[in-house]
Amino acid sequence: MNIEIIELEDGILLQNLQDFELRHTFDCGQCFRFNEDADGSFIGIADGRIVRMIKQGMDLRIKGAKRTDADFWLDFLDLNRDYSRIKAQLSDDPILKEAIRHGLGIRILNQQPFETLISFIISANKQIKQIKRCVEAIAEKFGEPVSFEGKTYYSFPDAMQLSKAGEAELRTCGCGYRAGYIAATAADLAAGRASLDEIMAQELPAAAKALQQLSGVGPKVADCILLFAMKKHGAFPVDVWVKRVLEEFYFVEYSNLKELRAYGMNQFGENAGIAQQYLFYYAREMKLR
């Protein structure tokens, strides 16, 4: 879509963005470290880079970003992909067409695999607000400080840094019974017994299987990592909201999670994960029960 990149005194400006809204993108359950301020801008940190994003019409101002970081942010926000085409394809489905109308500015982020892995292990049996609090606590305790706008923020630790944390210390971050899973998984990665780079290089089915070898990672969490950090858009995470939409609008009768996952992947194909995000956002807007 021909994005222009302009260097500003305090950041960069990305011009002429189609199919992109901050609120849609950061409020659809994929990301836990970007938060909206009173003025509608979003402040957050990814890969140790702290920024404030301000949407101005079709442009996005990223305060705090360097010119050399432009490619990183374009990729992080998945702005190089043509969502108009994807949305047009998905809109053959009337229910999806309606869902897309509600979350038309959603982008599937390309987040850091390790941070995404740990964040979604934490997500089991937790609300988004609680997950955010826990992730923040881990960053403060084990990450590196970064100052911005006169305040201090913290990067999310890498596997090596987090492997130095004990289960007990993780519990003080609010991880609860997930602390043991996180400690074990961080240790495996730090010791090289598993590699997220290698997993990411595999095809979706094999990558999903490999992720599930890690402690605390089952089918749902694996799908989230594949979709939100590994560009595997065919993954279809089934959580309670997606379950509700499928039952409410697709008349899927009582079925287990595995069947719902297969239904989604079959129904929506290679972009099932993107469809999942529109449906998730829609279900929450409709306050489905």
Coil, strand or helix at 53: strand
C-beta of 220 vs 231, nearer to DNA: 220
State the nearest-atom distance from the C-beta of 93 to DNA, in Å: 24
State the nearest-atom distance from the C-beta of 260 to DNA, in Å: 11
C-beta of 90 vs 242, nearer to DNA: 242
C-beta of 48 vs 219, nearer to DNA: 219
- Is residue 220 flagged as an active site residue? yes
CA distance 100 to 105: 9
State the nearest-atom distance from the C-beta of 216 to DNA, in Å: 5
Among 52, 171, 35, 199, smallest CA distance to 114 is for 199
Which residue among 97, 220, 231, 243 is the active-site one?
A: 220
C-beta of 74 vs 173, nearer to DNA: 173
State the nearest-atom distance from the C-beta of 141 to DNA, in Å: 21
**Helices 257-268 & 240-249 angle (0-180, nearest 10):** 70
State the nearest-atom distance from the C-beta of 219 to DNA, in Å: 5
C-beta of 251 vs 254, nearer to DNA: 254
State the nearest-atom distance from the C-beta of 213 to DNA, in Å: 8
Dump the DSSP string for 29-51. SS-SSEEE-TTS-EEEEETTEEE
Give the binding site for DNA (CB under 7 A): 123-125, 177, 181, 212, 214-222, 239-240, 256, 258
Exposed e or buried b per residue across 131-170, where buried means at least 16 C-beta atoms within 10 angstroms of its C-beta: bbebbbbbbebbbeeeeeeeeebbbbbbbebbbebeeeeb
C-beta of 147 vs 256, nearer to DNA: 256
Alpha helices in the chain (DSSP H): 22-26, 70-76, 83-90, 94-102, 113-122, 128-142, 159-163, 167-171, 179-190, 196-200, 204-211, 219-229, 240-249, 257-268, 272-285
Q: How many C-beta neighbours within 10 Å does residue 130 have?
A: 14
Q: How far apart are the first and last CA of the chain?
A: 38
Exposed e or buried b per residue across 174-210, where buried means at least 16 C-beta atoms within 10 angstroms of its C-beta: bbeebbebbbbbbbbbbeeebebeebbeeebeebbeb
Annotated catalytic residues are 220
